[in-house]
């Protein structure tokens, strides 16, 4: 009888471990992933602006103008070299906050990324 109780307890513990493992895997698979976000540069404008993304998101800017442009954070958090037509710049944003940026070649071009 004692052997049956021990075996039964082990079986219950193993079953509980499997359930907890399955629950953990299920929760991990439904965790929100940081999704890529895109900003287009066209007609000397960044769009969309403001862009709101979750922390950890990767933002890609693409220059669709014939003129070169930069992506330059006003706080120094990120910056690109000059992008020619159809070139891209990618930045992963991990810290929540509001990031203002502009084109260093055309300072009237301004936009914002909000990281939540």
Digit-coded pLDDT (tens) for 55-71: 999 999 999 999 999 99
Instruction: Give CA–CA dist 37/22, Å, rounded.
Output: 31
For the chain, give the number of residues.
116
Which of 64, 61, 105, 96 minimizes the C-alpha distance to 77? 96
Bigger pLDDT: 24 vs 82: 82
Q: What percent of the chain has pLDDT over 90?
A: 69
Average pLDDT over residues 58-85: 98
The first and second tokens of residue 61, run together, are 């800017």
Question: Residue holding tokens 């109780």?
Answer: 5
pTM higher than 0.75, yes or no? Answer: no
pLDDT band at 2 (very low <50, low <70, confident <90, very high): low
| Per-residue pLDDT, 115 | 98
Dihedral sign for Cα atoms in the order 17, 21, 26, 27: positive
The first and second tokens of residue 64, run together, are 């669709």
| Per-residue pLDDT, 36 | 79
CA within 13 Å, CB half, 28: 6
């Amino acid at each position: 009888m004692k052997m049956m109780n021990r075996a039964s307890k082990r079986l219950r513990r193993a079953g509980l471990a499997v359930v907890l493992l399955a629950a953990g895997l299920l929760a991990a698979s439904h965790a929100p992933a940081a999704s890529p976000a895109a900003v287009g540069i066209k007609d000397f404008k960044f769009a969309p602006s403001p862009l709101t993304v979750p922390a950890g998101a990767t933002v890609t800017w693409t220059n669709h103008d014939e003129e070169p442009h930069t992506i330059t954070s006003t706080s120094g958090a990120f910056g690109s070299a000059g992008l020619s037509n159809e070139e891209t710049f990618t930045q992963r944003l991990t810290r929540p906050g509001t990031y203002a940026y502009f084109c260093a070649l055309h300072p009237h071009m301004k936009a914002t990324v909000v990281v939540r």
